[in-house]
Structure formats: C-alpha cells, structure tokens
Amino acid sequence: MTANELYCRAFQKAMKLTALVFDWTEPELIQGPGSVKDLPALIQSKGIQRVLLVTDPGLMKIGLPKPLIEALEAAGIFCAVYDQTCVNPTIQNVEDARQLYLEADCEAIIAFGGGSPMDCAKGCGARVTNPKKSMMQMSGLLHVSKKLPPLFAVPTTAGTGSEATVAAVVTNPETHEKCPCNDPKLRPKYAVLDPALTVGLPQPITSTTGMDALTHAVEAYIGQSNTKYTAKRALEATTLIFRWLKKAYDNGADMEARENMLLASYYAGVAFTRAYIGYVHGIAHNLGGYYNVPHGLANAIILPRVLEYYGESAYARLADLADAAGVAGNTTEEKAKAFIQAIRDMNASMNIPDHFDCIQEADIPLLAQRALKESNPLYPVPKIMTQPECEALIRNLMG
C-alpha cells in the first residue's frame, strides 16, 4: 500500500468514527399523491409567515410551483420566488437567492425542484446564517458554522435524493469548478414526496435522474463507510430502481412507479449522505462544472466504467447488489459483472448514450486532478485511483 493509500484509509476510518457523533435525524416526511397541498399547514404550524421558494425557469414555465404558491398565499403565508436556478447552480444563483430572502424578510426556505434548486436553496440558507463565509469557504467538510433557516424540500424528480442529504454542490463559473459542501446542517428538516409532481417529467429526465439515484445507492453500498442501516437503504433503493425505473420511463403517468421511484431516491439519499459516494461523482461533478453536463446523465455514463475499474475489490458488494436487482450469476464475480452489464443494458433501454462528445483531450489532466482532489481522501472507495488511472478512465469516456 502506498503512502497516499495509507493516508486516505486512515482519514476515512477517522471520519467513520467521527460520524458517530453527528446528528443523522432524517427529515419529517409528507408522502403520497397530492401531499404537497399539506405543506402550507405544516409551515403555518411552525409559526412561519414569510418564505422564499427556490425553483428554476423550466418549472415556472410549465406552472408546476403555481398551485403551491397559491396555497401558501391562501393560508396567509407570504411567498417570494427565486426562479433563476441554473442546471448546475452557480455561486451567483446562491447570492441572488440570498439577496431576495433578505429583501423579502423571509423566515424559511422551500426548495422546489430537482437537485439544482435543492442545492441552490441549501447554499442560500447557509449564506443567510453564515454571512461572513462565502460558498467557496464553506466548500468541503463541516465548514457551515451555523444552522440554516427552516428548510422544506419538495423534489420534483426522483434522483438526487437531496431532500435527505447533507450535501450541496454549486459551480464557480470563473474556474468551471464545482464546490461540494458537506455538513449535517444542510439537511432539510422537512420533505414532501408527492409523486404527482413527477408525472410530467420528460423521458430523458426520468431516466437520468433515476440512474443518479442508482449511482447513489451503488456508491454508498460498495464504499468502506457503510453501516447496517445505510446498507439496508442502499439495497432497498436498488431493488426499487430495477423494478420501477423502466416502468416510469415507459409510462410517465404510472403513479405507482413514480411513487416508488421517489421512495428509491430518498432511500439512496439517506444511504449516501452517511456512507458517502465515490469516483463516479468525483468525475461527474467536474464534467458538470467544466462542460455543464447534467449530473444524472454524467453519473449514468460514468457508473459502469468506474465499477469495472474497481474490479475484484468490489465484486462481493456488487454481487449483493445483483441479488437485490434480480440479476443472476453462478459466482460472485459473475454476479458482479452481470450487475455492471445490467446497468449498461438499462442505460441503453432508455436511450442514454455510453460516452461524452464534449470532453477535450487537453482538458483531461485538469479534470482528473480536480476529480481526485474532491475524492481523495474523503470518499471511502473500494480502490484508490491514481492520476494516470483517472486520466485513462476519463479518456475512455470519450468513446
């Protein structure tokens, strides 16, 4: 074992022990079709009279937040709306949302949308209560000093699991670098899992956000910071995704499929926020920051490549996931390889490409450097990746 590997493993063991003292209280859930209509009463019960709703232009264009905004106003709750969140939210998005929060004298935040509005809302809340710290200064682990205002999460995609996580990722457009911020204070206190909000999702969003959830479950399960509880949630999420994702993709109005995918996304979020992620995310974050690749799409394409890189170091865990997914094999290695192939097959069945056209050869060394800077030593991966190995893997993603 190299000196770098020893350092990474020692750091990860220390973090796993430190995590025992963190507050892992999960959000209070409101669930079921139409459950978003119950949110104003919950907010009202907390004595909150002014809220900031953070969403994105696409959702505002189709009017998805409108019923909630109207219900809030009918309940006597003032609602300011920030709807300019980018696909990969920027530091400026966070600052603009924070400015609106302060100008409107808000007391709480509603994150309404996919992972981008969720991350923007978390960043906004962190900046509101930590005004002397920039997002760059809060990037990394445990750099949020003060707890956020009450945060209510309403996911409209079944993928990021951000309503259950302690993470927020924003982009620095000046450097094309993503800033992952991880702190238990970022975890929403309340979450609404309303499948009716996901019924109108286009097929490409359904597929890539679903594969994002699968990536969370897989990376959490095969990592070395798993607990019995996170392992249970990761396996449950994997089972649900393999059973329901293609059904949700084929029939977007299938309420049962939508409901189960929301639950899968939540379970996967619970798993990875405690057990962490791995190199799939390290690389995906940087492709998103550099080329604006949607995060779920990046994860879907990268996942099988990274699992193949891990090889036998992950076979036993991947075989467990194969069992959860209903993928057959005679030996542990056969099951692991069949599971990886099943991921490729699922991608293909939903028209997800197997490579990126945007990657430029000249960018690969910096992309690899940034991916490893994010991943090592924090992510408890099955096998530590070197700079040349990371460059080779990214080069392979060019197709």
Q: What is the CATH number of the domain that holds 312?
A: 1.20.1090.10
Whether residue 186 is found in the same domain as residue 246: no
Structure confidence by residue, pLDDT tens digits, 271-295: 999 999 999 999 999 999 899 999 9
| The predicted structure's pLDDT at residue 201 | 92
CATH number assigned to the domain comprising residue 169: 3.40.50.1970
Structure confidence by residue, pLDDT tens digits, 362-379: 999 999 999 999 999 999
For range 250-261, the mean pLDDT: 97
Structure confidence by residue, pLDDT tens digits, 108-158: 999 999 999 999 999 999 999 999 999 999 998 889 999 999 999 999 999
Closest alpha carbon to 218 in 161, 176, 136: 161
Question: Does 290 map to a domain?
Answer: yes
- List b or e across 337-363, with b for residues whose CB sees 16 or more CB atoms inside 10 angstroms: bbbbebbbebbeebebeeebeebeeeb
| The predicted structure's pLDDT at residue 180 | 87
Amino acid at 264: A
Whether residue 283 is found in the same domain as residue 385: yes
Whether residue 183 is found in the same domain as residue 248: no
| The predicted structure's pLDDT at residue 88 | 86
What is the sign, positive or negative, of the torsion defined by CA atoms of 238, 240, 241, 246? Answer: positive
Q: Is the peptide bond before 377 cis (omega within 30 degrees of 0)?
A: yes
Which residue, 172, 198, 224, sits at the end of a domain? 198
Count the domains in the chain.
2
pLDDT-derived band at 256, boundaries 50, 70, 90: very high
| The predicted structure's pLDDT at residue 145 | 93
**CA distances (Å), 377 to each of 102, 135, 140, 233, in order?**
37, 21, 12, 24
Question: Does the pLDDT at position 399 exceed 90?
Answer: no
| pTM (predicted TM-score) | 0.95
Question: Does 22 map to a domain?
Answer: no
Tokens for 379?
Answer: 């992510």
Kindly give the interhelix angle for 315-325 and 332-349, rounded to the nearest 10 degrees: 60
| The predicted structure's pLDDT at residue 193 | 98
Whether residue 11 is found in the same domain as residue 46: no
CB 241 within 8 A of CB 214: yes
- 27 compared with 23, residue with greater pLDDT: 27
Whether residue 53 is found in the same domain as residue 100: yes
Which residue, 140, 172, 198, sits at the end of a domain? 198
Structure confidence by residue, pLDDT tens digits, 153-176: 999 999 999 999 999 999 988 888
| The predicted structure's pLDDT at residue 57 | 96
Which residue, 198, 222, 248, sits at the end of a domain? 198
Whether residue 144 is found in the same domain as residue 97: yes
- Give the rounded percent of residues in the chain with a pLDDT score beyond 90: 93
Average pLDDT, the chain: 96
For range 40-58, the mean pLDDT: 97
Whether residue 278 is found in the same domain as residue 260: yes
pLDDT-derived band at 210, boundaries 50, 70, 90: very high
Whether residue 218 is found in the same domain as residue 167: no
Whether residue 211 is found in the same domain as residue 360: yes
Tell me which residue range forms the domain holding 293.
Answer: 3-15+201-396
CA distance 295 to 87: 9
| The predicted structure's pLDDT at residue 207 | 98
pLDDT-derived band at 392, boundaries 50, 70, 90: very high
Whether residue 360 is found in the same domain as residue 383: yes
CA distance 286 to 293: 9
Q: Would strands 177-182 and 167-172 be described as parallel, antiparallel, or unpaired?
A: antiparallel
Question: Does 316 map to a domain?
Answer: yes
Question: Does 43 map to a domain?
Answer: yes
Q: What are phi and psi of 346, to 5 degrees?
A: -65, -45
Whether residue 223 is found in the same domain as residue 355: yes
Tokens for 200?
Answer: 């109108």
Whether residue 262 is found in the same domain as residue 345: yes
Question: Does 26 map to a domain?
Answer: no
CB 276 within 8 A of CB 376: no
Question: Does the pLDDT at position 325 exceed 90?
Answer: yes
| The predicted structure's pLDDT at residue 74 | 96
Question: Does 23 map to a domain?
Answer: no
| The predicted structure's pLDDT at residue 175 | 85
Question: Does 24 map to a domain?
Answer: no
Question: Does 132 map to a domain?
Answer: yes
